[in-house]
């Protein structure tokens, strides 16, 4: 590797750096693994940290791992960017709902006013009828005609009472509908302000993620340049079938991509010094690699310490 880099291996970012070690790890291919803590902070390797010998893996594997990390990051950014239009649409739907509520309340209030005017007219008409019947009652000459007019007067007055009662109900309902319109108009104004702020935040986040994506794409071009084309094509074909993942660690005798057993002779070849071939899982087809550590030197004794488990 030309310079220190960060790889996503086994679900964790591993910061790798070249270092001079003991007699069996003195080549530039020997790298020290600096892990990351649970809170994401970098943990520097101690003097007895595990050392991974890149001579024990195909030279394309570290570059493919870096490329896979970048590709997964790019996929996550693109997924986030694709979600932004939906977030804008959801914000617009909230505003549309508030506007529709105001429109419906105004329409209901208008109907209430129209109905109120109708009953006001009914009251006037029935009162006018009762007045005319009273005027006519003084000119009738028979009891039957007088009784008939009295009946009409009583009926008109009853209709007046009904219309006035209904008019009062509508007036009270109209006050409620008018208050509802005012409250919804206030809510609409608040929604317009809050959604304007939300849209601005979404646009800012979109611009930031787009900038991150452009940077990640540039990183990808840098990472992919030294990878032989046949390995790149193989990796991309595999990753396309596995949601962006083209490599899997072989650990504890299993492919960590699918959990199936890896044949012992494949595991041995993954750790051979003269490893110049890429091996794939026979079950899922992912490119296999191993992170088996070799002992790091103990500066106090000049001897190698016991190796650290790759699963830790």
pLDDT for 167:
72
Is domain 81-210 given the CATH code 1.10.287.1490 in the classification?
A: yes
Residue ranges in the chain whose pLDDT is less than 70: 1-56, 174, 273-275, 292-312
Strands (E), 196-286: 247-251, 254-255, 279-280
Where in the chain do CATH 1.10.287.1490 domains reside? 81-210
Residue 308, classified by CB atoms within 10 Å of its CB into exposed (0-12), middle (13-18) or buried (19+), is middle
Dihedrals phi, psi of 295, to nearest 5 degrees = -60, 140
pLDDT of residue 158: 85
Q: Write out the two tokens for 21.
A: 């070690």
Question: In the prediction, which pLDDT does 50 show?
Answer: 37
- Residues 6 or more apart whose Cβ sits within 8 Å of residue 231: 60, 64, 278
Closest listed residue to residue 232, CA positions, set 53, 55, 60: 60
Beta strands in the chain (DSSP E): 5-9, 12-18, 30-34, 51-53, 247-251, 254-255, 279-280, 287-289
pLDDT at 282: 92
Our CA dihedral for 72, 75, 81, 82, rounded to 10 degrees, sits at -150
- What pLDDT, on a 0 to 100 scale, did the predictor assign at position 275? 64
Contacts of 235 (CB under 8 A, 6+ apart): 64, 67, 68, 227, 246, 247, 287
């Amino acid at each position: 590797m030309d310079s220190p880099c960060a790889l996503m291996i086994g679900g964790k970012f591993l910061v790798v750096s070249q270092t001079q070690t003991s007699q069996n790890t003195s080549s530039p291919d020997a790298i020290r693994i600096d892990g990351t803590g649970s809170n994401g902070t970098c943990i520097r390797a101690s003097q007895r940290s595990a050392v991974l010998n890149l001579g024990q893996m195909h030279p394309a594997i570290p570059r493919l791992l870096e490329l896979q990390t970048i590709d997964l990051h790019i996929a996550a950014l693109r997924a986030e960017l694709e979600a932004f239009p939906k977030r804008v649409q959801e914000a617009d739907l909230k505003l549309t709902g508030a506007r529709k509520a105001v429109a419906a309340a105004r329409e209901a209030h208008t109907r209430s006013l129209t109905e109120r005017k109708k009953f006001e007219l009914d009251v006037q008409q029935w009162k006018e009828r009762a007045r005319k019947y009273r005027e006519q009652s003084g000119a009738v000459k028979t009891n039957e005609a007088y009784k008939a007019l009295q009946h009409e007067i009583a009926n008109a007055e009853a209709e007046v009472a009904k219309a006035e009662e209904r008019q009062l109900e509508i007036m009270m309902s109209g006050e409620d509908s008018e208050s509802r319109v005012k409250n919804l108009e206030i809510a609409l104004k608040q929604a317009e302000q809050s959604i304007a702020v939300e849209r601005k935040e979404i646009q800012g986040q979109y611009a930031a993620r787009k900038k991150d994506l452009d940077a990640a794409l540039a990183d990808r071009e840098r990472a992919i340049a030294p990878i032989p084309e046949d390995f790149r094509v193989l990796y991309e074909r595999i990753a396309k079938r596995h949601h962006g993942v083209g490599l899997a660690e072989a650990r504890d005798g299993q492919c960590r991509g699918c959990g199936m057993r890896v044949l012992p002779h494949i595991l041995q070849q993954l750790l051979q010094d003269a490893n110049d071939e890429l091996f794939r899982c026979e079950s899922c087809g992912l490119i296999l690699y191993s992170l088996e550590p070799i002992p790091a030197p103990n500066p106090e004794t000049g001897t190698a310490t016991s190796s650290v488990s790759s699963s830790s």
